[in-house]
């Protein structure tokens, strides 16, 4: 449901959205097309967001890719943990459209 909401919000603003069901699939997709920004759910199956981010950062052609952590488990300290792991931003679910677009503008240098 959250992925559907993100897709709808992004598509309405003319972002091209590529979706993966898990971290491994996301990595495989990025071998075909490099995204401008990556949104990773921290609790994805197969490879969680942290493991997927580590794999992304290990690849020279993807190492500078802006990556946003997206999570429903917004506990005290979670944002700091995500940023320490190398995420460029942090969104808690349910995602608020204003915050999402502010973060995307910041990461894509539009704002």
- Each residue's pLDDT, cut to its tens digit, for the chain (111 residues) gives 678 889 999 999 999 999 999 999 999 999 999 999 999 999 999 999 999 999 999 999 998 999 999 988 767 888 999 999 999 999 998 889 999 999 999 999 864
Res 90: pLDDT: 94
Please check whether residue 19 is in contact with residue 3, taking contact to mean a CB–CB distance below 8 angstroms. Answer: yes
DSSP secondary structure letter of residue 15 = -
The angle at the Cα of 16, spanning 83 to 5, to the nearest 5 degrees, equals 65
Domain 2-107 class in CATH: alpha beta
Q: Is the peptide bond before 102 cis (omega within 30 degrees of 0)?
A: no
Where do the domains of the chain lie? Answer: 2-107
Please check whether residue 54 is in contact with residue 84, taking contact to mean a CB–CB distance below 8 angstroms. Answer: no
**pTM attached to this predicted model:** 0.91
């Amino acid at each position: 449901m959250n992925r559907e909401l993100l897709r709808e919000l992004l598509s309405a603003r003319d972002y091209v959205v590529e979706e993966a069901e898990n971290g491994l699939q996301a990595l495989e997709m990025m071998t075909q097309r490099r995204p401008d920004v990556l949104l990773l759910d921290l609790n994805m199956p197969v490879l969680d967001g942290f493991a997927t981010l580590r794999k992304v950062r290990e690849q020279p052609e993807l190492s500078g890719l802006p990556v946003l952590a997206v999570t429903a488990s917004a506990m005290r300290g979670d944002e700091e943990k995500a940023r320490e792991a190398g995420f460029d931003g942090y969104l808690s679910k349910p995602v608020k459209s204003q915050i999402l677009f502010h973060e995307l503008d910041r990461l894509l240098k539009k704002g």
